[in-house]
Chains A and B, each alone.
Chain A
Amino acid sequence: MKGHRMGERKRRQYIGLLYISPWLLGFLIFQLYPFVSSFVYSFTNYNMTSNIKFVGLKNYIEIFTKDSQFYNSLKVTIFYVLMAVPMKLVFAFFIAMILNIRIKYVNYYRTIYYLPSILGGSVAVSVLWRFLFADNGLINEILSSFGVHKIGWLSSPKIALFTISLLTVWQFGSSMVIFLAGLKQIPKELYEAATVDGISKPGMFFRITLPLLTPIILFNLVMQMIIAFQEFTASFVITSGGPMKSTYLYAMKLYDEGFLFMKMGYASALSWILFIVIMIFTALIFKSSEYWTYYEDGGK
C-alpha cells in the first residue's frame, strides 16, 4: 500500500516535470544558451562570415579605449533612464493618488490615461512624435500662439533626449494601474485609526500610504529601469540617434555594431557591458531599498 503511494507520488513528480518541460527546453535553448554564448562570443572576432577566432580581451579594450561612441551612447542612455523613469513613475503615482479618492467616472479617466500605454513602442506612435515635435509641428504652433518662441524639440541636441523621454512619460498608464491596485489594498481601518489619533492628511500620506506602497514602487522602479535601458524604437525612428548623436541610445549602438556592421563579437562585448551596467543599477536600487522599503512582516 505504502509502496503504491510512493509510486504514485513519483509519477506525479514526473508529470509535473512533463508539464514544465516546454519552458525548460525553451529556457535552455533560447535563453541560457544565448546568455552564456554571448559571453563567449565577446572574446571573439566573429562576423557571421569568417571563422571564429578568439581574440582575448581585444573587443573590450577597443570599446574602452578607442570607441568614443561607446561612452557617448552609455552616457545618453543613463541620462535617458534617469530622466524618463522617475518622471513616469512620479506622474503615475500622482495620478493614481487622485483617482483613488472616491470620485465619479474613475473608470473613464483610467481608460483614457491607459490608452497610450498599449500603443507604447509602436512605430506609428514614434512617427506621430516626429510630427508633433517637428520645428513647425503642433507643439511649437501651440506654444507660439501663447507667444513662446519655437523650441527645437527634436533638432536641438540639448532637448531631443528630453522629447524622447516625454514619449515614455506619455505611457504612464500601466504603472498608474499597478499603483492604483496597490492603493486599493491599503486597509481603510488604518486611515480611520489615524483620523482618531488626529493625524493630518499629509501625515497620513507619509506615514501610511507611502510606506505601504514602497514594495510596489521598488518593483516598478526596477522593471521600468531595465526596460528603459533597452529603449530602441523611439530613438531609431524619431531621431535616428541624432542630432549630433545626442539621442544615440545604447540599444542603437548595439544594433549598428551587430546588425549593420555584423561585428557579432564586438556587439556581444557591448551587450555584456550593458548587462553589467543594468546589474549595477539594479543592485544599487535593491541595496538602497533596505532603507526605504517597508515590509509588513518587518522582514528585510
Chain B
Amino acid sequence: MQQKRKKENKKAVKTALTHVFLIFLGLIMIYPLLWMFFSSFKPNNEIFGSLGLLPKQVIWDSYYRGWNSGQFTYGLYFKNSFILVTPVVLFTLISSALVAYGFARFNFPFRKTLFSIMISTLMLPNAVIIIPRYILFNHFNWLNSYKPFTIPSIFACHPFFIFMMVQFFRGLPRELDESATIDGCNTFSILVRIHTPLLKPALFSAAIFQFIWTWNDFFNSLIYINSVRKYTISLALRMTLDTAAAANWNEILAMSTLAIIPSVLIFFFAQNYFVEGIATTGIKG
C-alpha cells in the first residue's frame, strides 16, 4: 500500500518536472517575439543594454514614424504584399486541386512516371533553376512585376500542394465517383460538387501554408522586384533596416512586429490545419 503510494508520488513529481521543463522551453521559444513586441514601445536607448521586457518609458509614436519613414508608407507595402499573395494562393489552390485530381483518379500513359517526376521536383533545389528562370522572365518582360509569382502558380509549380491534395483524394472512397457517374455527373462536376466540399480541410491547409510562405518570401522578391513602389513587406523591412541604420531601432522593431501579425493571426485561428497539413504529407513547414 505504502509502496504504491510512493510510486504514485514519484510519478507526480516526474510529471510536474516535465511540465516545468516544457513551460520553460515554451518561454524561451516565445520570448524573442514578446521582446520584439514590447521593445517596439521602448525609446532607442533602452532597446540595447537592458534586460526588462516592459518599457520603462513608453514610446507611442514608433509605429507612426516607422509607418511613414520612407519614400512611401508601409500602407503601400502591405497592399503590395496582399496584391501579390492573394492571386498566388487562389491560383495555387485551383491548379493543385485539378492536377491532384488527375493524378489520383485517372489512368493515363506514363502516369506513374509523371507522378514520380512530380515528387522528385520536391527535392529539386531552387538554386539550380533560379538563373535561367530570371533570364526567361526577363525575355517575357515580367521583371519588376508580380508575374514571376502568379503565373507559375497557375501552372501548379508548387508540387508540395499537389502531393498534399493527392494524399487527401486517396482518402476519399471511389464509390463516391462511381455513383455520381451513374447519376450522370461528368468528371469536372464530380470534382466541383462532390469532392471540393470534402476537400475543404486540405484546401484550407494549402491556402494558409501558401499564404505564409509567399508572405515571408524574401529571395524571390529581392531578385524580381526592383522599384520601391512595388516593394513587398519583406523588401521594405530590409530597406528600412539599411537606411535607418542611424538608430531608429524602435521603428524597425515596430514594423517587424506588424509584418508578422498576419501570419501569427492566421496561425492562431487555424492551427489545427497546420498540424493536419504537415502530418498528412510528412513534409517540412
Interface residues of A (CB under 8 A from B): 12-20, 22-27, 29-31, 33-35, 37-38, 41, 46, 48, 95, 98-99, 101, 103-105, 109-125, 127-132, 134, 136-138, 141-142, 145, 170, 173-175, 177-178, 180-182, 216, 219, 222-224, 226-227, 229-230, 232-233, 236-237, 250-251, 254-255, 258-259, 264, 267-268, 271-272, 274-275, 278, 282
By beta carbon, the residue of chain A nearest B26 is A112
Contacts of B217 in A (CB 8 A): 121
Contacts of B130 in A (CB 8 A): 34, 254, 258, 271
Distance, CA A41 to CA B48, complexed state (A): 48
Q: How many residue-residue contacts, CB under 8 A, span A and B?
A: 282
Which one of A110, A128, A227, A271 contacts B32 once the chains associate, using CB atoms below 8 Å?
Answer: A128
Q: Could you jot down 28 A-B contacts, CB within 8 Å? A: A13-B106, A13-B108, A19-B106, A26-B156, A34-B129, A38-B129, A41-B132, A48-B138, A103-B22, A115-B29, A115-B267, A123-B218, A123-B237, A128-B36, A128-B256, A130-B241, A131-B253, A134-B48, A174-B278, A174-B285, A177-B274, A177-B278, A178-B283, A229-B127, A230-B125, A233-B218, A255-B223, A274-B127
| B275 and A224 contacting across the interface, CB-CB below 8 Å | no
The verdict on B259 contacting chain A, using a C-beta distance below 8 Å, is yes
Which one of B218, B233, B256, B282 contacts A219 once the chains associate, using CB atoms below 8 Å?
Answer: B282
| A131 and B271 contacting across the interface, CB-CB below 8 Å | no
Contacts of B274 in A (CB 8 A): 114, 118, 177
Contacts of B253 in A (CB 8 A): 127-128, 131
| B98 and A115 contacting across the interface, CB-CB below 8 Å | no
Stretch at the interface among B68-76, B82-90, B110-118, B199-207: B110-118
Contacts of A178 in B (CB 8 A): 278-279, 282-283, 285
Given contacts A17-B102, A142-B51, contact A98 B259 (CB under 8 A): no
CB distance from A115 to the nearest CB of B (A): 6
* SS class, residues of chain A in contact with chain B: helix
CB distance from B230 to the nearest CB of A (A): 16
* SS class, residues of chain B in contact with chain A: helix
Contacts of B124 in A (CB 8 A): 31, 35
Contacts of B263 in A (CB 8 A): 118-119, 122
Which one of A20, A138, A173, A232 contacts B285 once the chains associate, using CB atoms below 8 Å?
Answer: A173
Interface residues of B (CB under 8 A from A): 15, 18-19, 21-22, 25-26, 29-30, 32-33, 35-36, 39, 47-51, 95, 98-99, 101-103, 105-109, 111, 114, 117-118, 121-136, 138, 152, 154-157, 159, 162, 187, 212, 215-219, 222-223, 233-235, 237-238, 241, 249, 252-253, 256-257, 259-260, 263-264, 267-268, 271, 274-275, 278-279, 282-285
Which one of A12, A129, A233, A271 contacts B128 once the chains associate, using CB atoms below 8 Å?
Answer: A271
Contacts of A233 in B (CB 8 A): 218-219
| B279 and A177 contacting across the interface, CB-CB below 8 Å | yes
Contacts of B125 in A (CB 8 A): 226, 229-230, 274-275, 278
| B285 and A33 contacting across the interface, CB-CB below 8 Å | no
CB distance from B146 to the nearest CB of A (A): 15
Distance, CA A275 to CA B268, complexed state (A): 37
CB distance from B88 to the nearest CB of A (A): 13
| B126 and A230 contacting across the interface, CB-CB below 8 Å | yes
CB distance from A217 to the nearest CB of B (A): 11
